Amino acid sequence: MLILSSKTALKAQIGNLKKVERVVKSFINTKKNFKILFIYYDRSNQFRIKPLKIKKPVSIRSFIQKIERRWGVIDYLLLLGGDRVVPFFRLKNPCADSDKEVLSDSPYASRDDDYLIPERVCARIPDNHSADFIVQQLKKSSNFSSSFGLSARVWKRASENVYQRIGKKEELMTSPPVTSNRFKSQWLRKKRFLYFNVHGSKFSSNWYGQDGENYPIALSPDNIKDASGVVASEACYGAYIINKDEERAISLKFLSQPKVLGFCGSTTIAYGPAVPPSSEADLLVKYFFEYLNQGLNLGESFKNAKLDFARKAIRRHGFLDDDDQKTLLQFVLYGDPTLRLKSSKGDNRCLARAR
């Protein structure tokens, strides 16, 4: 595993780096099944690869490839910091919608130019302008068992098809009638999975339900207290964090919770069906949940979900259409990718040894 960041840029976001560096060292020592290397791409390194002076995604990706050629295969990549530390790729939007570009970590997960299909696990721990926030992500663990799900009412049938992978579809809530002022924070406590299929916006801090032309606020950052488990959201811009903090981005608010292990979501406008069968965002999240339930860690579950999504799409129409391509590019994973949900017996052993 390679943990990658920028010393100058990370310091500009969180201040003193000593606490983070100390916890990263402890993190490396506790992950006995992983060979882990922590490198700042803008500082000298043991491989004598020239440090980068400008933090461009293409240059950082090239830096990673050079490390791999000298160190060996990198199966796991953890990006430490937000867009101003390790910038997202700004990719051409394959769909004819209002997104001018797609913010993506997918090229970091690939060794060649066909970055729709991941070749390594790639996850990110955003900085949220806080050293404590980063430290918290590197110290998490959980062993809860139940699930919570919330869907826009108009997508209830499609959401039930996804939610039944992690819970009883009859327990899936919808908005309306659920709204932020009726939302009970205890619904999020002691949960293994948290699932949301609602509307989102890059400009708003809220997520929204829908019933006809009615779009009530379904969830706001203030509703999130003592949440736990792995969060997967199909909301448009659910993982959009540019110039955001935890009071303006629900993804960061979830990650600020000590018992939330990770967040899977989209950086841009996401697509999904109103009714089954599952496709686009629904299908990707469904596969993500299935692999987590099988005992794989967050990173492998996310990577395998994208691989299975691509295989399924190609079997269906013989190619990846525009919506499929965008889905693969826009979904990102935030958090420690080595974490896995504990089994009912509390077995939390890592499944694989990785560089």
Q: Does a structural domain hold residue 345?
A: no
Domain count along the chain: 2
- For residue 144, the model assigns a pLDDT of 78
Per residue in 58-116, pLDDT tens?
A: 999 999 999 999 999 999 999 999 999 999 999 999 999 999 999 999 999 999 989 99
pLDDT at 136 over 50: yes
- Is the domain of 28 the same as that of 95? yes
84 with 24, same domain: the answer is yes
Strands 89-92 and 121-125: unpaired
The CA distances from residue 220 to 95, 176, 336, in Å, are 29, 14, 24
The CA–CA distances, whole Å, from 85 to 41, 60, 91, 349 equal 10, 11, 18, 31
- Segments forming the whole domain that contains residue 263: 146-335
Average the pLDDT over each of 66-80, 102-116, 140-154, 157-171 and give the range with the smallest value: 140-154
If asked whether residues 284 and 179 sit together in one domain, one would say: yes
Residue 88 phi/psi, 5-degree rounding, is -65, 150
Assess whether pLDDT exceeds 60 at residue 296.
Answer: yes
Q: Within 10 A of 310 (CB to CB), how many other CB atoms are there? A: 19
The per-residue pLDDT of the chain, averaged, comes to 94
Residue 290 — pLDDT band, cuts 50, 70, 90? Answer: very high
- Among 137, 168, 193, identify where a domain stops: 137
Give the model's confidence band at 145: pLDDT under 50 very low, under 70 low, under 90 confident, else very high. Answer: confident
Half-sphere exposure of 297 (CA within 13 A, CB side): 22
- CB of 78 closer than 8 Å to CB of 1: yes
pLDDT at 352 (0 to 100): 30
The radius of gyration of the chain from alpha carbons, rounded to an integer in Å, stands at 19
Question: Do 39 and 68 have their domain in common?
Answer: yes
What's the pTM value of the predicted model, to 2 decimals? 0.94
- Residues 120, 157, single domain; the answer is no
CA distance 275 to 348: 36
Contacts of 329 (CB under 8 A, 6+ apart): 91, 94, 102, 104, 106, 115, 116
Residue 92 phi/psi, 5-degree rounding, is: -60, 130
- The residue from 103, 137, 171 where one domain ends is 137
Binned at pLDDT 50, 70 and 90, residue 346 comes out as very low
Question: pLDDT tens across 68-78, in order?
Answer: 999 999 999 99
Residues 293 and 203 reside in one and the same domain:
yes
Interatomic CA distance for residues 201 and 126, integer angstroms: 19
Largest Cα separation within the chain, whole Å, is 60
Three-class DSSP labels, the chain: CEEEECHHHHHHHHCCCHHHHHHHHHHHHHCCCECCEEEECCCCCCCCCCCCCCCCHHHHHHHHHHHHHHHCCCCEEEEECCCCCCCCEEEECCCCCCCCEEEECHHHHCCCCCCCCCCCEEEEECCCCCHHHHHHHCCCCCCCCEEEEEEEHHHHHHHHHHHCCCCCHHHCEEECCCCCCCCCHHHHCCEEEEEEECECCCCCCCEECCECCECCEEECHHHCCCCEEEEEECCCCCCCCCCCCCCCCHHHHHHCCCEEEEEEEECCCCCCCCCCCCCHHHHHHHHHHHHHHCCCCHHHHHHHHHHHHHHHHHHHHCCCCHHHHHHHHHEEEEECCCCCCCCCCCCCCCCCCEC
pLDDT digits (tens, 9 = 90+) for 190-203: 999 999 999 999 99
The answer to the question of residue 347 being in a domain is no
pLDDT band at 350 (very low <50, low <70, confident <90, very high): very low
- If asked whether residues 194 and 316 sit together in one domain, one would say yes
Amino acid at 182: R
Give me the CATH number covering residue 62: 3.40.50.10390
Residue 348 has pLDDT above 50, yes or no: no
230-288 pLDDT, tens digit each? 999 999 999 999 999 999 999 999 999 999 999 999 999 999 999 999 999 999 999 99
Verify that 129 and 175 share a domain, yes or no.
Answer: no
Beta bridge mates, 199: 208
Q: Is residue 243 part of a domain?
A: yes
For tokens 């005992």, what's the residue? 295
> At which of 105, 137, 169 does a domain end?
137
Residue 343 placed within a domain: no
Residue 324, domain CATH: 3.40.50.1460
Give domain status of residue 348, yes or no.
no
Same domain, 106 and 215: no
Question: Taking residues 30-53, what's their average pLDDT?
Answer: 96
Cα separation, 332 vs 317, whole angstroms: 25
How many angstroms from the chain centroid is the CA of residue 267?
A: 10
Would the pLDDT of 292 be above 60?
yes
Same domain? 51 vs 128: yes
The reported pLDDT for the residue numbered 343 is 59
Q: Answer yes or no: is pLDDT of 345 > 70.
A: no
Whether 80 is in a domain gets the answer: yes
User: Strand order in 191-197's β-sheet?
Assistant: 37-40, 2-5, 76-80, 121-125, 331-335, 259-266, 228-233, 191-197, 146-152, 173-175
pLDDT higher than threshold 70 for residue 351: no
Looking at the domain assignment, is residue 66 inside a domain?
Answer: yes
- How big is the chain, counted in residues? 355
271 located within any domain: yes
Pair (63, 178) in one structural domain: no
Position 317 confidence tier, pLDDT thresholds 50, 70, 90: confident
Residues 80, 155: one domain?
A: no
